Amino acid sequence: MKSGEVHPKDRLLATASRLFYAEGIHAVGVERLVSEAAVTRATFYRHYPTKDDLVAAYLSTTSHQIRAAVDEVRAGKPPREALAGTLGVVGDATCADDFRGCQFLNAAAEFPDPDHPVRKVINDHRSWFFEVLREEAAATGHPDPDHAARVLVLLRDGALHGGELDNAEAVRATLRRAVEELFPA
């Protein structure tokens, strides 16, 4: 591979991420993926034995990106500010030009079997997000941090659907206000 050239595995993942998010996972076939990523079928299957393995890699990569963004906004912040920043990451996502809802909720709709490997990636991400919110809620001294975290996860889910259907700025403002009301200063 030449310097500056993108590895075929990375091209596949980038292509899949773009297409799966824009068009849906089941709507994009392996032939299209290999064609747009400019790789052979053999290369595809060498790196991802099944399309589901590629879907899991797409969601895992998305999760790592979100985790990094959340870690950045939480770093060194007091709990209430960390909560606002965490939900701010969600609100900011709804304002992106190519926003099409939550990758995890979209994938869950396409993979209804709770034991499917793709659902395990989704569940891992959701558990991580809940735990971040529960930890910060507890640090604020909230009397029921589990409940507060559940409320915020439901708000996140709604925001990631409403952000595509409603005014994204209103969604962002609602998330900020929810933190202010659930965790008064």
Please state the domain extents for the chain.
1-49, 51-182
Q: What is the pLDDT of residue 1?
A: 59
- What's this model's pTM, rounded to 2 decimal places? 0.92
Q: What is the pLDDT of residue 96?
A: 85
Q: What is the pLDDT of residue 97?
A: 85
Q: Give me the amino acid identity at 103.
A: Q
> Residue 17 has which token pair?
């991420």
**CATH hierarchy code of domain 51-182:** 1.10.357.10
Q: What is the pLDDT of residue 4?
A: 65
| Nearest partner of 52 among 6, 113, 126, judged by Cα | 113
Rg (CA), the chain: 18
C-alpha to C-alpha distance for 10 and 154, rounded to whole angstroms: 33
Q: What is the pLDDT of residue 2?
A: 62
Is domain 1-49 given the CATH code 1.10.10.10 in the classification? no
Distances (CA, A) of 100 to 8, 104, 129, 163, 181: 26, 11, 20, 9, 28
Mean pLDDT, contiguous 10-residue spans, the chain (185 residues): 77 97 97 97 96 98 98 97 95 88 96 97 98 97 97 94 82 90 88
Q: What is the pLDDT of residue 37?
A: 97
C-alpha to C-alpha distance for 83 and 180, rounded to whole angstroms: 10
